[in-house]
Amino acid sequence: MSSTATTPLVEVTNLSVHFRNADATVHAVNGVDFTLNAGEVLGILGESGSGKSVTLKTLMRLLPEKKTTIGGGMRVAGHDVLSLDRAGLIAFRGRVASMIFQEPMLAFDPVFTIGQQIAETVIQHEGVSREVAMARALEMLERVQIPSAKRRLEAYPHEMSGGMRQRAMIALALACKPQLLLADEPTTALDATVQIQILLLLRQLQKEMGMAVIFVTHDVGAAVEVSDRIAVMYAGRFVETGDVRTVIRKPGHPYTQGLLAANVLPGTGIHAGKRGDRIEAIPGAPPNMVTLAPGCAFEPRCKWAEERCGTKVPEPLPSADGGAAHLVRCVRAVA
Amino acid sequence: MSLLDVQGLVKHFPIKSGLLNRQTATVRAVDGVSFAIAAGETLGVVGESGCGKSTTARLIMHLIEHDAGNIAFDGKTVGSQHMQLKELRRQMQMVFQDSYASLNPRLTIEESIAFGPQVHGLGRTEARARARDLLARVGLNPAQFIRRYPHELSGGQRQRVNIARALALEPKLVILDESVSALDKSVQAQVLNLLADLKQEFKLTYMFISHDLNVVQYISDRVMVMYLGRIAEIGPVGEIYSNPRHPYTRALLSAMPSVDPDDRTEAPPLTGDPPNPINPPSGCRFRTRCEHAEAVCKQKEPVLNMIGTGHSAACHMMNAGSGHSKIIPIAVAA
Amino acid sequence: MSAPLASAAAAVFTEPPPVVVSRGYWATVFARVLRDKVTVFCALVLICMLLMAIFAPWIAPKDPTATSMLKRLALIGSEGYLLGTDELGRDMLSRLIYGARLSLFIGIVPVINAFLIGTLLGVLAGFLGGRVNTVIMRTIDVFFAFPSVLLAIAISGALGAGIFNSIVSLTIVFIPPITRVAESVTTQVRGLDFVEAARASGANALTIIRVHILGNVLGPVFIYATSLMSVCMILASGLSFLGLGTKPPAAEWGLMLNTLRTAIYTNPWVAALPGVMIFTTSICFNMMSDGLRQAMDIKE
């Protein structure tokens, strides 16, 4: 990004995450680098198994420590996330960075009311009195536009509908005004008319509170609605990063191109899929993350594959027509 | 003549609770649904959770019994002496959403596909030969796959196996219940292409149920929009997408996230969640979320009204005599 | 957009070649068990016990029923008596070896019986549902109202002492828990899409149970049954201890524990030996059952 004077809020350098189990080692993340400025929204777009959720969970140190090997570095707002101790981690989660999930029931304890749980977080991080904390909880529920918020403070998680629970989880995550919000497919399980409400709510809250957001999704539309920048992830690497307009309009990586074509987006004017036409499908299936080939991971499915693709993973380099901020990991896209 | 003709289909699920297991409430899952599917066409069914689209599919398959209504297949009422259930099940097959749960983990791919034909009296050797043939048709190399188990396959491969399993009985109608929804986009596109090919090759008729409006638009000839156990609007795909008449259809379409960074969605078309089908609103079920709702919408239930060639909507605004203040004139005389 | 990507039709056979050589479910489970050292060890111990029971006449150094008033309660390591003697001067080592026969027999056979009957009842109740389910499961509930130890004692007491009667009473004790597990697993499996798909292809109930239900129910129920074997051994020993099971002078670990209890102050190490055998066998059954459960939990 252009702002070099200020240090970015998030700096991830050469992040790798491997899971060991009895059968094999899964190479979930294989060298991810990115920076994110305060108030910026990065959308990570990828399919299942691409390592997008793992990247987020690593930023929160949510992965089981015993079975996970993490390499590289992560700094968030001056904190070296990987070296935080237990106390540091508790202060970090919720206060500096917060996370929302696809399934809100995971974020809530079923035996406490929504109000109690939000207030508890505020008391823990800010040491305020219960009254102040409850007032904050009410303010948060109003902020996420839950109707009759006062009554909802007394509600238990299971008493709310899916969309309301999602809003309550956002309220919980933002209660201590974190600088960074990590959103892991928060709208995937929702109905279409509810999904758009949550997307717009996130966009609005991000503007109002000025926080940075990393939004992980498999849905191109959801990513476009909220993101300033988009990173496309494949086999544990960012294969393409850039401004949302550049990535959507001039995708440089063959995988991004295929993904956009496969989305069958009729009537958008970008690439209207006509009825009856065949969809331009990427052949084959995503790679096995246990036995990852040495070269470009997309090479077996790529129609442009050449001999050099199989030997070495391409470096992320500025694309030919997208400018310096548009990085593509493909030997063909480089200027 | 239509291949499938559904008239006034109703299914209510009782909710029992308490010590004596008394019925305390009713889920009106499907509440008076009538439609037809012509041979060779694809009917897309869209709607949010609780709209009754999956229940409708299971009722048509006779996996659950309907409370009222009539289902006729090929002009014959199902369950009558002209059409035995077992015969119906040969002619009508279903592919489910969860590719893993719909394959028996203890059977090989070949055994799973050959099961249906064997039930219908085909010999073991012939059934297995058919399984191998079908595997090749759905794009999986039989030599590689027949002896494998479901957990050794990817999601896309498993769904291809499920499609082969459905086709093994040589059905006329295939009901696809969110069959591509769980797949990754790149794999989903492959399976959609496959479905299009198979339809042509085997002269199939599809009922394609999905919450994904893009996919439904791509694959369907006609589209049926459901809301809380009723049909809101049904018509040709072009009409539904370019000239939606029911306020709910319009809301659904404008709720699709934009893929143009310079034309993002500004305001959500609807607020709140879909109501619970246990106690649906009186009159028009959509009135609680509809910006055009009036007194008449609360009192009277709108009927499906013809508003164009093969295009009907259940909304008082499309019915000149309903008493709604905002009657929208119908361009094409019914 | 750039030129069209390869169409799906062309992609038909470009699926990646098989990475895993398919070896079937049970073969996979077996391979996973082999990697679990604790389970393998427990299985080996149990196999040794079984071999010991089968070949008792050839292994045992002395006649297990030969008494000697002179050599009563000899200490462990006494000359000629590696593990000492009991209160009637019988060789402990030989009696423990012979004891494996009866102890394993009345520890395993009731569970196998209950496994067969309970699975049948549970699958019927789970698959048919409705009235059948109500009748079977409510009857089972009645048995659950009694603690298993009391139930075993009551039935044995009513039928009278003896090996056959204790097997009958233990079978009755273990039918309810196995039925309940079988019923709940069946109910789960019945709700899965592949059973729906089988119904949709026109198969009748019997075919569906045979092809689709049993294969998925037997495994989990079998694991549960193996975990009951330890309980069964202990209950059987308890019955013998109370004089409701095997009768003297037969060698059976529970009975030996009973007759040796008078010697607990004079020769505690010898008196504890039958207990050690019961403990070892039952813990091995439990650990093996745990290991099997983990090995069978194959995820995608």
| Long-range pairs of B251-255 with CB within 8 A, sequence gap ≥ 24 | B251/A193, B251/B289, B252/A192, B252/A193, B252/B46, B252/B48, B252/B213, B252/B225, B253/B213, B255/A192, B255/A193, B255/A195, B255/A196
The more confidently predicted of residues B278 and C268 is B278
CB distance B324 to B316 below 8 Å: yes
Helix (H) or strand (E) holding B311: strand B311-313
Best of A264, A278, A290, A303 to disrupt the B interface (most B CBs within 10 Å) is A264
Q: Give me the pLDDT at residue A269, please.
A: 35
pLDDT band, very low/low/confident/very high, at C22 (cuts 50, 70, 90): low
Q: Please tell me the distance from the alpha carbon of residue A286 to that of residue A270, in angstroms, as a whole number.
A: 25
Q: Give me the pLDDT at residue A334, please.
A: 67
The more confidently predicted of residues C8 and B169 is B169
The pLDDT tens digits for A81-99 are: 999 898 899 889 988 999 9
Domains in chain C, CATH or no CATH each: 26-62+91-296 (1.10.3720.10)
Best of A250, A291, A292, A303 to disrupt the C interface (most C CBs within 10 Å) is A303
pTM above 0.90, yes or no: no
- C15: distance to nearest CA of chain A, Å? 5
Strand bridging mode B205-209 / B222-227: unpaired
pLDDT-above-70 percentage for chain C: 88
Chain B residues in contact with C25 (beta carbon < 8 A):
105-106, 149
The pLDDT tens digits for C203-237 are: 888 999 999 999 899 988 988 998 888 788 888 88
CB distance B94 to C202 below 8 Å: no
Contact of C7 with chain A, judged by CB distance below 8 Å, is answered with yes
- A287: distance to nearest CA of chain C, Å? 9
Q: Which of B102, B119, B193 sits opposite C207 (nearest CB)?
A: B119
CB distance A17 to A70 below 8 Å: yes
The more confidently predicted of residues B46 and A64 is B46
Q: Which of A257, A271, A283 sits opposite C6 (nearest CB)?
A: A283
The more confidently predicted of residues C51 and C238 is C51
Tokens of A317: 């380099």
Contact of A47 with chain B, judged by CB distance below 8 Å, is answered with yes
Q: Give me the pLDDT at residue C5, please.
A: 38
Contact of A200 with chain B, judged by CB distance below 8 Å, is answered with yes
Test B141 with C13 for CB contact under 8 angstroms: yes
Test C15 with A284 for CB contact under 8 angstroms: yes
User: Among A154-168, B31-45, C110-124, where is mean pLDDT lowest?
Assistant: A154-168
Q: Give me the pLDDT at residue C268, please.
A: 78
Q: Which of A163, A270, A282 sits opposite B186 (nearest CB)?
A: A282
Q: Give me the pLDDT at residue A147, please.
A: 87
Best of C5, C23, C194, C195 to disrupt the B interface (most B CBs within 10 Å) is C194
Contact of B197 with chain C, judged by CB distance below 8 Å, is answered with yes
Q: Give me the pLDDT at residue B82, please.
A: 64
Q: Give me the pLDDT at residue B160, please.
A: 94
Q: Which residue of B has its CA nearest to A245?
A: B261
Q: Give me the pLDDT at residue C1, please.
A: 37
User: Among A324-333, B206-215, C14-23, C282-291, where is mean pLDDT lowest?
Assistant: C14-23
Task: Kindly tell me the burial class for residue C280, based on how many C-beta atoms sit within 10 Å of its own C-beta (0-12, 13-18, 19 or more).
Answer: middle
Domains in chain A, CATH or no CATH each: 10-96+178-328 (3.40.50.300)
| 3-state secondary structure (DSSP) of residue B5 | strand
CA–chain centroid gap for A81, Å, is: 17
- The one-digit pLDDT tens for each residue of chain B (334 residues) are 789 999 999 999 988 876 667 777 889 999 999 999 999 999 999 998 889 999 999 999 988 989 999 999 988 887 666 667 888 888 999 999 898 899 998 899 999 999 999 998 889 999 999 999 999 999 998 888 888 888 888 888 999 999 999 999 999 999 999 999 888 888 888 899 999 999 999 999 999 999 988 889 889 999 999 999 999 999 999 899 988 999 999 999 999 888 888 888 888 898 888 888 888 888 999 999 998 998 899 998 999 988 888 899 999 998 888 788 888 776 554 4
Q: Give me the pLDDT at residue C9, please.
A: 37
| 3-state secondary structure (DSSP) of residue B241 | helix
CA angle C201, C207, C209 (to 5 degrees): 110
| Cβ under 8 Å to B: C residues 32-91 | none
Task: Kindly tell me the burial class for residue C230, based on how many C-beta atoms sit within 10 Å of its own C-beta (0-12, 13-18, 19 or more).
Answer: buried
The pLDDT tens digits for A108-134 are: 888 999 999 999 999 989 889 999 999
Q: Give me the pLDDT at residue C234, please.
A: 81
Residues A232-251: what's their mean pLDDT?
92
Q: Which of B116, B144, B151 sits opposite C201 (nearest CB)?
A: B116
CB distance B326 to B317 below 8 Å: yes
Q: Give me the pLDDT at residue C298, please.
A: 65
Tokens of A93: 């989660």
Q: Give me the pLDDT at residue B76, please.
A: 83
- B107: distance to nearest CA of chain A, Å? 23
Q: Sign (positive/negative) of CA torsion C272, C278, C284, C290?
A: negative
CB distance A74 to A81 below 8 Å: yes
The secondary structure of chain A, three-state, reads CCCCCCCCCEEEEEEEEEEECCCCEEEEEEEEEEEECCCCEEEEECCCCCCHHHHHHHHCCCCCHHHEEEEEEEEECCEEHHHCCHHHHHHHECCCEEEECCCHHHCCCCCCCHHHHHHHHHHHHHCCCHHHHHHHHHHHHHHCCCCCHHHHCCCCHHHCCHHHHHHHHHHHHHCCCCCEEEEECCCCCCCHHHHHHHHHHHHHHHHHHCCEEEEEECCHHHHHHHCCEEEEEECCEEEEEEEHHHHHHCCCCHHHHHHHHHCCCCCCCCCCCCCCCCCCCCCCCCCCCCCCCCCCCCHHHCCCCCHHHHCCCCCCEEECCCEEEEEECCCCCEC
Residues C2-21: what's their mean pLDDT?
40
Residues C106-112: what's their mean pLDDT?
90
Q: Which of A191, A262, A263 sits opposite B49 (nearest CB)?
A: A191
Q: Please tell me the distance from the alpha carbon of residue C5 to that of residue A279, in angstroms, as a whole number.
A: 9
Residues 6+ apart with CB under 8 A from B303: B314, B319
Strand bridging mode A323-328 / A317-319: antiparallel
CA angle B92, B93, B98 (to 5 degrees): 155
* pLDDT exceeds 80 at position A255: yes
pLDDT band, very low/low/confident/very high, at A335 (cuts 50, 70, 90): low
Q: Which of C24, C192, C207 sits opposite B149 (nearest CB)?
A: C24
User: Among A139-148, A323-332, B54-63, where is mean pLDDT lowest?
Assistant: A323-332
- B199: distance to nearest CA of chain C, Å? 14
pLDDT band, very low/low/confident/very high, at C23 (cuts 50, 70, 90): low
| 3-state secondary structure (DSSP) of residue B327 | coil
Test A285 with C1 for CB contact under 8 angstroms: no
